[in-house]
Amino acid sequence: MTRLLLVLMLALIASPALAHPPPLGIGGFFGGVLHPLFVSAHLLALLGLGLLIGQAAQGSRPAALATIVALTAGLLVMTLGFVPMLMGEALLLLAVATGALVALGRPLPEPAACAFGAVTGLAIALDSPPEVVSVREANLMLIGTGFGATLLLIVVVEAASRLQRPWLRIGARILGSWIAASAILVLALRFAR
């Protein structure tokens, strides 16, 4: 009888096992805001895209807007419970591409930058399924993820667009190559399993 009581007590105090828990154990809106900073694929993709958009003369506002619109649309799809496979790998491939383009140091034409932005925004949203128990907390995390990703993108685009001196542009190109290399390493680790 005491064993049964002990098992029941342990079952009642156990928390759900989550494969992708909220960052730092912070749930809700603020956990969502931190999500793009703590998921390597999201961070690398947003940094690469932000640098790429910022390389354009005065930053490409339409490309940033395309990213934000696609991110919002993807997050709305996520509220329906749609979770596609391999979005993390797609984000890493986008990070490789944007990082390599930043390293080249040549701004993309506006339509190409908008396409990269839209695909990246959609992939970030579709790779952000909150693994929480309540629907309310999941929706708050999705809203927070939208805010966090948007804020990070805007900060990187604005910072990159202010790099006017040649040595600062070289530094941005080096950072782009590091982003591409890091994404390749993370992809290699994922496929090695």
Enclosing domain of residue 68:
27-192
Q: Is 187 among the domain residues?
A: yes
Any domain includes 11: no
Work out how many domains the chain is built from and give that number. Answer: 1
Give 122-173 pLDDT, tens digit per residue: 999 999 888 777 788 888 889 999 999 999 999 999 999 888 899 998 999 9
Element (H, E) at 110: helix 110-126
Residue 78 and residue 142 in contact, taking contact as beta carbons nearer than 8 Å: yes
Asked if residue 49 is part of any domain, the answer here is: yes
Q: Which DSSP state fits 38?
A: H
pLDDT digits (tens, 9 = 90+) for 69-123: 999 999 998 888 777 888 889 999 999 999 999 999 888 888 999 999 999 999 9
* Residue 21 within a domain: no
- Whether residue 108 lies inside any domain: the answer is yes
Instruction: Identify whether 3 is part of a domain.
Output: no
pTM score of the predicted model: 0.82
Does residue 188 lie within any of the structural domains? yes
Over its C-alpha atoms, the chain yields an Rg (Å, rounded) of 19
Domain assignment present for 20: no
